[in-house]
Amino acid sequence: MENQYLKKIIAQSPEDLHIISACCSEGKVNISDVKYLAKNKIFLISISRFSKEDEHKKREINSIIKFEFINSSKSKNIDQKDPNLILELITIDIFRKGENFEINMLFSKNRIITLSAEVIEVTLEDQK
């Protein structure tokens, strides 16, 4: 029987964020599905990932990763003008930087998105 429940994981600590990172590693992100809403301090990523948390580890799921309280976003080695660019997520790391946190999303081919956050408030939510 197919699991009808959609997962929602909320991270409010570095340890929680490691769980989201583990669930999303090897996930694919189209650069056009990455949005930074500066006014709202929200950073959104739509990711196509494999369900590592259930017995059918090869089942593909579309999920949204929502980062809140984001002060800034920068990227390295990513052509944001290429609508066909697909990124493969390797891991999400977090570091304390003064009063803030620095969240690094590391992708294959040395591509990086770095977020500066006031607090850790990250949600991984599966979509239908």
Question: 99-107 — which CB contacts under 8 Å span 24+ positions?
Answer: 100/71, 103/17, 103/67, 105/45, 107/29, 107/78
What digits encode the pLDDT tens for the residues 38-89?
A: 999 999 999 999 887 767 667 889 999 999 999 999 999 999 899 899 999 9
- The Cα 113–Cα 104 span in angstroms is 6
**Residues 55-67: b if buried by 16+ CB within 10 A, e if exposed:** eeeeeebebebbb
What digits encode the pLDDT tens for the residues 2-12?
A: 455 668 999 99
Closest among 34, 40, 116, 104 to 72, alpha carbons compared: 116
Q: What is the structure's pLDDT at 52?
A: 76
- The Cα 41–Cα 116 span in angstroms is 10
Q: What is the structure's pLDDT at 5?
A: 61
Q: What is the structure's pLDDT at 59?
A: 83
What residue spans of 25-121 are helical by DSSP H? none
Give the domain ranges of the chain: 8-126
Q: What is the structure's pLDDT at 7?
A: 81
